[in-house]
Structure 1
């Protein structure tokens, strides 16, 4: 069983997923005023289909919601995740 860890990398404006210590993917963010814009998510081929994208989305959106900030999901993956999780507490604009 692999161990997935998601962290926020403020220097590169992205959340990163590591599987067994190896970078497996990331989702980018930027602040536009009081809104967090999420333009892109990428999971590397070797880690596709293993839930890495979902782990990234949930961690990032949980973090944003904990700061009481709204999110604008320009990334199709993030938008799809939110569509599949309508009860998530993050505010979408």
Structure 2
């Protein structure tokens, strides 16, 4: 099924759509230097199909392109970063310690 991830700036969240229907989102709050990901949710009908992974990956790529660091306050985003060390560089050193992430 065709998917798309878009930044819904008005709602401060990235949304993933499946066949044009919103299947999930990750909410954020921007600061001057970082984007704090605070909550991620996937509709139960789409659970277990990899949409959370696709959503978070696209959101982190967009965050990087926007020149922002990432603060994975949400467990889903934190787990994504923990299991993909190439994204760890996006988390500021001060936040890694507080979130229990490697330095």
TM-score (ref. length: structure 2): 0.84
Gaps of 5+ in 2: 93-103
Corresponding residue for 1:9?
8
Pick the structure with more helix per residue.
2
1:73 maps to 2:78: no
Supply the distance in 2 between the matched residues of 1:29 and 1:90 (Cα, whole angstroms).
19
Corresponding residue for 2:99?
none
Paired residues of 1:9 and 1:15 also in contact (CA < 8 A) = yes
Q: CA deviation at 1:32?
A: 2.2
Gaps of 5+ in 1: none
Runs of 4+ with >4 A deviation: none
Change (3 A) 1:89 1:63: farther
TM-score (ref. length: structure 1): 0.92
Paired residues of 1:39 and 1:73 also in contact (CA < 8 A) = yes
Supply the distance in 2 between the matched residues of 1:39 and 1:49 (Cα, whole angstroms).
21
Paired residues of 1:65 and 1:89 also in contact (CA < 8 A) = no
Q: CA deviation at 1:89?
A: 7.0
Corresponding residue for 1:59?
58
Deviations 1:25-58 (A, max 9, x none): 0000111232111000000000001111001100
Paired residues of 2:35 and 2:71 also in contact (CA < 8 A) = yes
